[in-house]
Amino acid sequence: MRTLNPNVSVDCLVFGYEAGELKLLLIQRDASRANDRSVLSWTLPGDLIQDDEDLDDAAHRVLQELTTLDRVFLKQFGAFGDPSRVRRPADKIWLEKTRAFPEARVITVAYYALVNVGHFSPSPSNFAVDTQWMSLNEIPDLAFDHNLIVQKGIETLRNEVESSTIAFQLLPEKFTLSQIQELYETILDQPLDKRNFRKKILALDILKPLKEKQKGVSHKPAQLFRLKLFKKN
Partner DNA sequence: CCAAAAGTGTTATCCGTACACCCATGC
Partner DNA sequence: GCATGGGTGTACGGATAACACTTTTGG
Contacts to DNA by CB under 7 A: 176-178, 193-196, 198-200, 213-223
Cα Rg of the chain, angstroms: 20
Backbone angles phi, psi at 220, to 5 degrees: -55, 125
Q: How many helices (H) and strands (E) does the chain have?
A: 6, 9
Smaller CB separation from DNA, 83 or 191 = 191
Of DNA, its own copies, none, which one sits near residue 216, judging by CB under 5 to 8 A according to partner kind? DNA
Q: Which span sits near its own copies by CB under 8 A: 75-83, 114-122, 142-150, 171-179?
A: 75-83
Contact residue for its own copies among 76, 156, 178, 223 (CB under 8 A): 76
Contacts (Cβ under 8 Å, ≥6 apart) of 38: 89, 90, 93
87 by Cβ neighbours in 10 Å (0-12 / 13-18 / 19+) ranks as exposed
Torsion angle of C-alpha atoms 167, 66, 97, 110, degrees rounded to 10: -30
CA distance 150 to 80: 11
Contact between 52 and its own copies (CB under 8 A)?
A: yes
Q: CB 200 → DNA: shortest distance, Å?
A: 6
Q: CB 205 → its own copies: shortest distance, Å?
A: 24
Of its own copies, DNA, none, which one sits near residue 51, judging by CB under 5 to 8 A according to partner kind? its own copies
| Closest by Cα among 140, 187, 160 to 44 | 140
Q: CB 21 → its own copies: shortest distance, Å?
A: 29
Contact between 105 and its own copies (CB under 8 A)?
A: yes
Q: CB 185 → DNA: shortest distance, Å?
A: 12
CA distance 81 to 105: 9
CA distance 203 to 109: 36
Contact residue for its own copies among 18, 36, 51, 189 (CB under 8 A): 51
Contact between 158 and its own copies (CB under 8 A)?
A: no
Contact residue for its own copies among 5, 125, 147, 176 (CB under 8 A): 5
| Closest by Cα among 188, 19, 45 to 117 | 19
- Containing 91, the helix (H) or strand (E) segment is helix 89-98
Contact residue for its own copies among 21, 65, 78, 226 (CB under 8 A): 78
Q: Which span sits near its own copies by CB under 8 A: 22-30, 52-60, 177-185, 204-212?
A: 52-60
Contacts with its own copies by CB under 8 A lie at 5-8, 49, 51-55, 58, 76, 78-83, 105, 107, 109
